[in-house]
Chain A
Amino acid sequence: MNKLLSSITLSFIVTGGLIAGEITGVVKYIGKPPKAKRLRMDADPVCAASHQEAAKAETFIVDAKGNLANVIVYLKGVKYSGNTPTQPVELDQAGCVYSPHVMGVMAGQPVKILNSDATMHNIHGLPKINREFNFGMPKTLKEKTITFDKSEDVFVVKCDVHPWMKSFTQVFDHPYFAVTGTDGKFSIPNVPDGTYEAIAWQERFGSKRTLSQQVTVKGGSATLNFNFERPKKK
């Protein structure tokens, strides 16, 4: 019993952030990358006019060195009893493209949806566990805030009016997640010491081809790298 109590106390101290560190790393793609498709936006002149060069699909953004962007990296099955940030996450509709293309948010954390375009967007989220939503944002409505109540695996948020507009959201019940930048780098701060299962998700690879790795945070830091590989033809 005493042992149990002391381990509970210990875990409180741990999650309290006394011995917490940062997981950092890079996600790479190995193989010949697919070509990015140009988005044809002529259906809405406002959209087309907002791009000097034709916008390209963001389904697979990889640089010459193979650094892969828009990958969600997160720890699986972590218990977290701390606070939920009140600082909103922003999802902008700018140039008829979602920014960010992929994002993570905590359950209960506000999501501020912005419309920076001079056109009407509808924003249609297709979660399965949280409540589905779909509302219009005319050009005059510049922002609207929503929240997700429950954690949920990645789902699509899209615009039915502009079918090329598609983004991905995952809702977590803990803050240990990050999305890679165009340099493929990510960092998950304030992770208590311990061993975790880390998952990496990229939209082209989908839910069936997530990568998974064990990571141990000890003494305040850990490194974690993922390599997505080009799938072999059957």
Chain B
Amino acid sequence: MVSDQQERYYNIFKLNKWFAISSILFTAFWILTFADDYNRPWKKYQIEFRKMEIEKVRNEISTKQEALEGNEDYQLLLAQLDLKQDEFNKQQDRVDGINEELESIRGAVYSSNQNYQFSKADFDAVKYQLEDARFKKQNTEKLEKQLKQLDIKTKKAFLISESYQLQVDSLESITRDLNASIKKTNDELFVLTKDRDLLERQLSKLDPEAMSLSNKVANIVRDLPVIDFIDPYYEVKQVVVNDLKEDLIYMGMPKVDRCMTCHVGIDKAGYEDAPQPYTTHPRLDEFAGGSSPHPMSEYGCTSCHGGRGRGTDFISSGHMPRDEKQKKEWKKKYNWDYLHYWENKMLPVQYTEAGCFKCHGDNMPVKGAPVLSLGMSTFEKAGCYSCHQMDRWADAPKPGPSLYKMASKTDRNWTYRWIMEPRAFRHNTWMPHFFKKGNNSSPEDILRSEQESLAMIEYLYEKSEDYEQVDKPYSGDPENGELLVSSYGCMGCHQIQPEQDPEYVPSMQNIRLEQGPNLIGLGSKTNEKWLFNWLKNPYSYHPGTKMPNMRLSDEEASDIVAYLIQGKTTEFDEIPVPGVDQEILNEITSDFLSQLNSTSQVAQKLESMSVEEKLSYSGKNLIGHYGCYSCHNIQGFEDAKPIGIALNHEGSKLISKLDFGFWHDEIPHTKWDWFYNKINEPEKFDLIPNEDGSVSVKELKPLEKSRMPWYGLEDKEITSLVTLIMGLVKDEIPPTKLPEKTPQYLAVTKGEQFIHTNNCLGCHKLDDEGGAIWPATADWLREVADNTNAEDMSLVQSFSPPLLNTQGRKTQPQWLLNWFKNVSMIRPHLQVRMPSFDYTDEEWNDLISYFQQKDNLDLIYEDPHNFTLNSSSFKAGERIAEMGACINCHFYGAEKPKQDALTWAPNLVLTKERLRPEWLVEWFINPQDVMPGTKMPAPYIPTEEPQNSIREVWGSDVAKISRDSTKLYKSLIDWMWGMEGRKDVSSIVKRHLNSQGYGFIIEEEDDWGDEW
């Protein structure tokens, strides 16, 4: 047989066997592949969430249903509908009859209409023939006759057709009315049940139990393995944001975020209390929500949170734990590990607000981001931007005092002790520690540090300029000085806090109180003469200082000096000051000399220099080395560049560029942990951890050591700073995603920064922020009145600087500018005083336009308020003021208010040049809405009283306009605009207070004491 003879090099049986085995294996793998593909970790979340959603919708439906059951309108409509339906059913026979009738005449209707149409067509044809014949001048008699007949016929046909049509219409309208009435009720019902019906429709898509049979089947089939690629219910959900790019080092890819695949409820309200990952975004009004300013579809998730948006499981999405505890939990629960090759990891929850900075960093504070705002505030307060270039703070002033004239202010010994250990003098100073840190604390290091300090002091004092001073004219009364310090407003920027407050919590409000130094130990630090001259005019010492001129009299300044100079730091004053150690000084000097010279030149130069020259030379170089000039004005360093690295894009720095030194095992390998440790212990990476928990220092020459100083910050401050640093990213953000740079935006952000840098809110409250001085006002009230008065918050508010709410709408801009430049008394009862700041006109303008733009006011020129003296309106206003007894509290020029000084309020003569009439109306309607807590009551206007009694009690001028509150308020404004008299009442106020005091209600002295 031929086949048997065919030559084969393989065994067919074996081949079949192997083929069968491989087919089975292939099928098995194929099934496994699908099973693996089908079994995704996110599916269980979606399945679980669907259950939650079904339950929620069911609950909502039953709530709505219950509400409907209880709704009388609903019940009424339902009953009406039943009635109407009944009525309709009853009429069914009639409707049937009508329909039959309609059917029967339908033929007649049609043919009558046809007849009419044909006849009309004939008529038209003949009409054309006739016109044609006339044109051709032919005989038309026959045609005319024909047309006349056809006309009659057509009219007849039309009448017949019309009568049939009317018959049909009237029959149809009967059924139409019946139907319309039902539809109307249905429509009304729909309005009530709309919400419920929508929910039911939603449920019918979600809940298999609420589905039709075919949908039930489809619901199962769509998610079956293999065919679930067509239109599954459970699927990877994603948003693609084309104009936001993922930085993949050499290229940008559109952002694709799949976070909502597991975080299914993130943009849906109602899952606020659901467990993760189902939870609603905690700020749905601001983020993720469709109607929020940052909808998920336009911003994604990772643009703020970081992480790998394409990931669809816990690890591949780049989740990062908040601390070691959470890390352990995650390892156990998810077998979590770092997503090593993804640079932009998700921000742990404590640093989440970092994501706000790249778009909103111009604001101050960033509303809704308290941690970031504290970070920005701390960054500015600590002056980080002085050594580390940061564009956002490019124009910020130097954070430390000027040292140009320091020899007049303090002495070498104090300066030495201060540089060596600032916190030994002032426990909460922002001057950081350069010495006695972990990397320079060995006995030899300290000896060198001592000589370095002496060298820097030599340079500073040698270069110090003269400060032209006057002698303090009075010895001063310290007790009165204390009262002045507590009442004039010093405490809006300063504290007097000898000991550390164990309950101190870092906050923006507390930073406001540290705008200026804690005023302790001034007797050790400075001298009376300098302090007197400084207080009289801080700008004479340093034109760029933030300390304003308080317009103190010589007596007042002397009293304050007498009080402040009492503060002494005895322990600190006893710290010994060493002499110059030639050997160490030579080492320091040669360290710097050798940077530019050969060894032999160094030796030569060293030989030729005197001790003072060595000190001064080393001092200058050390000041350059440590970067002292970054924070202080120092001679010879006017053009020096900052010594630290620029931080503009620090948050985007590759982690491989951060040197973890010997701390790889101790510090978690994240950027934020590196930054945290660097700020907490700046010399950390100069150190080596030992097994026994101690540390040793790397082998470093003095000038090689980490110079970053130690600020003694608390955990909350460091966390906030790290939040800011993590926000300093180089992401390219398209303008569409950024806040629009409108004139309003520019003015407001600039103003916010100005207000923050200059600490306006240390004294003023604005929209419920600030007013850091209030507790000091209470202390003053306790001193001049008693505890009960001090605890009365409305009194504390009334004796604190005014609220700045609606400032832009409130004051006339020109008046405000004049007043800023020449401050005068407005609120006669206040002790606290607006200081005189020597800002430029440009700065004042920026501030004023900030207030205006913030209040949506962009008119620069406005109509003056027009009124006629002694007009009816003017008289009406006069009467309202009389009835409202404005004179009880307000000055009318030189006329003093009737009540005690405690209740006094501004001189109304000032109003016409100071306030805007539009604002006054707003103010009169309800002062509490404008300035919560103000003692100003809403003036009473008799809009609701009977007309005849108004005429009798209020007079005819008021009666004329008594129903129109706007006119009544305008009349009050007319009256004020007509008021003439003395503007400056300060001398009257002073006389009154001296002779009669405030009239505080003080509890009778009793033996209860104050201690309760």
Decide: A135 and B792 in contact? CB cutoff 8 A: no
Dominant secondary structure at the B interface: loop
Choice from A59, A119, A137, A231 contacting B1003 with Cβ under 8 Å: A59
Q: How long is the Cα–Cα vector from A37 to B1006 in the complex, in angstroms?
A: 10
Contact status A57-B1003, CB under 8 Å: yes
Is B442 part of the contact surface with A, judged by Cβ < 8 Å? no
* Chain B proximity mask over A155-176: 1 for CB below 8 Å, otherwise 0: 0101011111000000000000
Cα A231 to Cα B938 in complex, Å, equals 40
Contact B1004 A34 (CB under 8 A): yes
Q: Is B194 an interface residue (CB 8 A)?
A: no
Q: Does B889 interact with chain A (Cβ within 8 Å)?
A: yes
- The yes or no answer to B97 lying at the interface (CB within 8 A) is no
12 contacts between A and B (CB under 8 A): A37-B1002, A37-B1004, A44-B898, A119-B885, A126-B793, A126-B933, A138-B884, A138-B940, A160-B889, A163-B999, A163-B1001, A234-B1009
Is A124 a contact partner of B937 (Cβ separation < 8 A)?
A: yes
Docked-complex contact A124 and B1004, CB < 8 angstroms:
no
The residue of chain A having its C-beta at the shortest distance from the C-beta of B792 within the complex is: A156
B898, B933, B1012: the one within 8 Å of A132 (CB):
B933
Tell me which residues across on chain B come within 8 A of A137, comparing CB atoms. 940
Q: Mark A120-149, 1 if CB is under 8 A from B, else 0.
A: 101110100001111111111100000000
B903 at the A interface (CB under 8 A) = yes
**B50 to chain A: closest CB distance in Å?**
29
Asked if B1011 is at the interface (CB within 8 A of a chain A CB), the reply is yes
Chain A: interface secondary structure? loop
Whether, in the assembled complex, B180 has its beta carbon less than 8 Å from a beta carbon of chain A, the answer is no
B938: nearest residue on chain A (CB-CB)?
A135
**Residues of chain B with a CB closer than 8 A to A120's CB:** 883-885, 888
Among candidates A35, A119, A163, A233, residue contacting B903 with C-beta atoms closer than 8 Å: A163
Complex contacts, A4 vs chain B, CB 8 Å:
none
Kindly report which residue of chain B lies nearest to residue A128, judged by CB atoms: B793
Which residue of the partner chain, among A34, A160, A231, A233, contacts B937 with CB atoms under 8 Å? A160
- Complex: how many Å from CA A126 to CA B41? 56
Residues in B neighbouring A233, C-beta threshold 8 A: 1009, 1011
Q: Is A76 an interface residue (CB 8 A)?
A: no
- A43–B137 CA distance with the chains assembled, in angstroms: 115
Say whether B1007 contacts A134, CB under 8 Å.
no
A94 at the interface (CB under 8 A from B): no
Smallest beta-carbon distance A53→chain B, Å: 16
Task: Name A209's contact: one of B932, B937, B1012 (CB within 8 Å).
Answer: B1012
Tell me if A141 and B940 are in contact (CB < 8 A).
yes
A136 lies within 8 A of B940 (CB):
yes
* Chain B neighbourhood of A234, CB < 8 A: 1009, 1011
Whether, in the assembled complex, B928 has its beta carbon less than 8 Å from a beta carbon of chain A, the answer is yes
User: Could you tell me how many residues of chain A have their Cβ less than 8 Å away from some Cβ of chain B?
Assistant: 40
Judge whether B900 is part of the interface by a CB distance below 8 angstroms. yes
- Bound-state Cα–Cα, A126 to B798, Å: 13
Q: Besides A134-B935, A134-B937, A161-B899, 10 other CB < 8 A contacts?
A: A34-B1007, A36-B1004, A59-B1003, A124-B937, A131-B928, A136-B940, A163-B1001, A164-B1001, A231-B1008, A234-B1011
Residues 738-762 (chain B) with a chain A CB within 8 angstroms: none
Q: Once the chains are docked, how many angstroms separate the CA of A66 from the CA of B985?
A: 50
Contacts of A123 in B (CB 8 A): 937
Distance (whole angstroms) from the CB of A47 to the closest CB of chain B = 10
A35 and B1006 in contact (CB under 8 A), knowing A43-B899, A138-B883, A234-B1011?
A: yes
In chain B, positions 950-972 with a C-beta closer than 8 Å to chain A are 953-954
Nearest first, the 9 closest Cβ-Cβ pairs linking A and B are: A122-B937, A34-B1006, A160-B935, A120-B885, A231-B1012, A37-B1004, A138-B883, A136-B940, A136-B937
Chain B residues, CB < 8 A from A126: 793-794, 933
Q: How far is the CB of B962 from chain A (nearest CB, A)?
A: 13
Distance between A228 CB and nearest chain B CB, rounded to angstroms: 12
B253 to chain A, nearest CB (A): 52
A124 to B927, CA, bound (A): 11
Once the chains bind, are A132 and B932 in contact (CB under 8 Å)?
yes
B934 within 8 A of A: yes
Q: Are A43 and B898 in contact (CB under 8 A)?
A: yes
Q: Does B939 sit at the interface, judged by CB under 8 A?
A: yes
Chain B nearest CB, measured from A95 CB (Å): 16
Query: Is A51 an interface residue when CB atoms closer than 8 A count as contact?
Result: no
B98 at the A interface (CB under 8 A) = no
Do residues A136 and B938 form an inter-chain contact, with CB atoms below 8 A?
yes
A34 with B898, Cβ < 8 A, contacts A59-B1003, A119-B885, A126-B794 known:
no
Q: B902 within 8 Å of A by Cβ?
A: yes
Do B794 and A124 touch across chains, with their CB atoms under 8 A apart? Answer: yes
Contact (Cβ within 8 A) A134 B884: no
Question: Closest CB-CB distance, A102 to chain B, in whole Å?
Answer: 16
With A126-B933, A141-B940, A160-B903 already in contact, the answer to whether A136 and B1004 are too (CB < 8 A) is no
In the assembly, what is the distance between CA of A234 and CA of B1010, in Å? Answer: 10
Among residues of B, the one whose C-beta sits closest to the C-beta of A205 is B1012
In B881-920, the 8 Å CB interface with A consists of 883-885, 888-889, 898-900, 902-903
Proximity bits, B526-549, A CB within 8 Å = 1, else 0: 000000000000000000000000
B1009 pairs with A35, CB closer than 8 A = no
Q: Select which of A32, A119, A158 is within 8 A of B1007 by beta carbon.
A: A32
Contacting residues, chain B, for A138 (C-beta < 8 A): 883-885, 940
* A residues less than 8 Å from B927 (CB atoms): 134
- State A32–B1008 Cα separation when bound (angstroms): 9
In the bound assembly, the distance between CA atoms of A57 and B1000 in angstroms comes to: 13
Q: How far is the CA of A43 from the CA of B902 in the complex (A)?
A: 11
Judging by beta carbons under 8 Å apart, are A134 and B936 in contact?
Answer: yes
Q: Complex: how many Å from CA A153 to CA B934?
A: 21
B884-A34 in contact (CB<8A): no
Give complex CA distance A43, B1001 in Å: 13
Kindly state whether residue A230 has any CB partner on chain B within 8 Å.
yes
Report the minimum CB–CB distance from A67 to chain B (whole Å): 19
Contact digits for A87-130, partner B, Cβ 8 Å, 1 yes 0 no: 00000000000000000000000000000000110111010000
- A165-B954 Cα distance, complex, nearest whole Å: 27
- B753 to chain A minimum Cβ distance, whole angstroms, is 32
Residues of B near A43 (CB, < 8 A) are 898-900, 999
Q: State in angstroms the CA–CA spacing of A93 and B932 once bound together.
A: 24
Kindly list chain A residues whose C-beta atoms are within 8 Å of the C-beta of B934. Answer: 134
A85–B710 Cα gap in the complex (Å)? Answer: 65
Residues of B within 8 A of A136 (CB): 884-885, 937-940
B1004 contacts which chain A residues (CB < 8 A)?
34-37, 57
Mark interface residues in B598-623 (1 if CB within 8 Å of A CB, else 0).
00000000000000000000000000
Q: Provide the residues of chain A in CB contact with B939, threshold 8 Å.
A: 136
Select from chain B the residue with minimum beta-carbon distance to A164.
B1001
How distant is the Cα of A37 from the Cα of B1004 in the complex, in angstroms? 5
Inter-subunit contact A158/B1001 (CB<8 Å): no
Q: Give the Cβ gap from B105 to chain A, nearest Cβ, in Å.
A: 67
Cα separation A231 to B953 with both chains bound (whole Å): 52
Residues on B with C-beta less than 8 A from A158 are: 794
**Chain A residue at minimal CB-CB distance from B1003:** A37
User: How close is B174's CB to chain A, nearest CB, in angstroms?
Assistant: 52
Verify A34–B1008 contact, CB threshold 8 A: yes
CB-defined contacts of B1009 to chain A, threshold 8 Å: 233-234
* Measured CA separation A43–B1000 after assembly (Å): 12
In angstroms, Cα B932 to Cα A30, docked, is: 40
Q: Min CB distance, A164 to chain B, in Å?
A: 5
When each residue 423-440 of chain B gets 1 if its CB lies under 8 Å from chain A and 0 otherwise, what string results? 000000000000000000
Cα-based distance from A185 to B928 in the complex (angstroms): 38
Q: Give chain A interface residues in 1-51, CB to chain B under 8 Å.
A: 32, 34-37, 39-40, 43-44
